[in-house]
Amino acid sequence: MNLFKLRCPSCGETRARHRIAPSRYSPVAPMVVGGILMALVFEVSRKPQFRCEKCGVPFGAHTLTSRLFQILWAWFVISLAVGIIWVFLATVMQ
């Protein structure tokens, strides 16, 4: 499956890479709105950071797992927006 093949954007290397730690910050907004579970989904849906061992360039690339969790995160945000609109329309129509 070449859909999620990780490739260095600088030199095109596909094998010589290692994962580096992303910049740390607290996902407060997802935790407030969706709880700890949504904060975890948000964190896993972010692009993992890699460093090419051939040229040393750091780059971010989605993996299959991060794409799946990105879909879950988008579904959560869309359902939250629809719910807010639904409640707003229900109160306005009364």
Q: What is the extent of the structural domain holding 40?
A: 17-93
Q: Which pair of tokens denotes residue 76?
A: 């959560």
The structure tokens listed for 8 are 């260095």
- The residue among 35 and 67 whose pLDDT is bigger is 67
Is position 30 within any domain? yes
Residue 6 lies in a domain: no
What's the CA gap between 36 and 76, in Å, rounded? 13
pLDDT band at 87 (very low <50, low <70, confident <90, very high): very high
How do residues 6-46 score in pLDDT, each as one tens digit? 778 888 777 777 777 766 666 666 667 777 777 777 777 88
> For the chain, what percentages of helix, strand and coil (3-state, to nearest 5) are there?
50, 10, 35
Which residue, 46, 51, 49, 50, is CA-closest to 67? 46
Query: Does 78 have pLDDT greater than 90?
Result: yes
5 is a domain residue: no
Question: Would residue 23 count as lying in a domain?
Answer: yes
Does residue 86 lie within any of the structural domains? yes
Inside any domain, residue 7: no
Task: Look at residue 35 and tell me if it is in a domain.
Answer: yes
Number of domains in the chain: 1
**Does residue 32 lie in a domain region?**
yes
Tokens, residue 94: 């009364």
Query: pTM of whole model > 0.75?
Result: no
